């Protein structure tokens, strides 16, 4: 049985710690350590058998795949370092600008790269439902509205997932109906997304709700193990599920 060795960028963050715990229970994944900011390093990390550092060059050579949940301003840098070491790179960081995406696609010529605004495995199914509904309604008078709800600490709005669902709608209706977006940032909401197809006197609501951050962590680990075995290229969660 092949074991995939994983390194985490954003190791001490909420998602980083959730992914670390998920790796512990995964039968074919092992945690090597993580990259975190210098100010979050502690004696606890110094005494850990894991490699916990603020220097990716100390971690990346020992990993098969790097999982990135950091910040859009630094994701491109980490992707380039992963490419230099020939390591697969999965990023769940949202809010990337066009330049950031361009870097990910550039390094995908050398290493397998997967970017997902949402690593929930069921979201790939939701996107397909949205695409199909948009295709069936494209010649009819239906408005498409997307509502995303997240915790108060989430900075980007609309969320990356909302934009991904909007892109699925546009793929389905071939651009005939542009979606509109609304965002709510409140409390500790993990993640809720509604895609509304509203006509005269009726509405279809396709909803995806996450109540536990573990969902994202499990999906990220499964995707990372899958990605480590792929050829260089740019992948999505749909590829992980084979849809």
**Hey, which residues are catalytic here?**
150, 154
Give start and end residues of each alpha helix (H) in the chain: 14-24, 43-46, 56-59, 75-84, 98-107, 121-137, 160-173, 214-227, 237-241
Q: Provide the Cα torsion 153, 145, 241, 222; round to 10°.
A: 10
Burial of 2 (0-12, 13-18, 19+ CB in 10 A): exposed
Q: Which two three-digit tokens encode residue 10? A: 């954003």
Q: Tokens standing for 234?
A: 């740019």
Q: What are phi and psi of 98, to 5 degrees?
A: -60, -35
Q: In the numeric block, which tokens belong to residue 47?
A: 């005494």
Percent helix, strand and coil across the chain, each to the nearest 5 = 40, 25, 35
The residue behind tokens 């790939």 is: 124
Question: Measured between alpha carbons, how far is 237 from 243 in angstroms, rounded to an integer?
Answer: 9
């Amino acid at each position: 049985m092949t074991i995939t060795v994983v390194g985490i960028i954003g190791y001490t963050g909420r998602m980083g710690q959730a992914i670390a715990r998920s790796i512990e229970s995964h039968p074919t994944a092992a945690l090597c350590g993580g990259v975190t900011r210098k100010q979050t390093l502690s004696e606890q990390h110094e005494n850990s058998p894991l490699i916990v550092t603020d220097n990716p060059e100390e971690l990346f050579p020992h990993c098969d795949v790097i999982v990135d949940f950091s910040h859009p301003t630094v994701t491109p840098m980490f992707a380039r370092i992963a490419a230099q070491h020939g390591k697969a790179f999965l990023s769940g960081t949202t809010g990337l600008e066009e330049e950031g995406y361009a870097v990910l696609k550039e390094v995908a010529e050398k290493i397998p790269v997967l970017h997902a605004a949402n690593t929930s495995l069921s979201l790939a199914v939701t996107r397909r439902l949205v695409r199909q509904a948009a295709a069936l309604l494209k010649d009819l008078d239906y408005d498409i509205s997307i509502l995303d709800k997240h915790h108060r600490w989430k900075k980007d709005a609309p969320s990356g997932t909302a934009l991904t669902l909007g892109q699925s709608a546009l793929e389905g209706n071939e651009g005939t109906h542009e979606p509109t977006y609304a965002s709510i940032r409140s409390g500790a909401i993990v993640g809720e997304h509604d895609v509304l197809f509203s006509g005269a006197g009726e509405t279809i609501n396709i909803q995806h709700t996450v109540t536990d951050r573990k969902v994202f962590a499990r999906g990220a680990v499964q995707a990372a193990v899958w990605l480590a075995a792929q050829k260089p290229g740019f992948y999505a969660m749909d590829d992980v599920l084979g849809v």
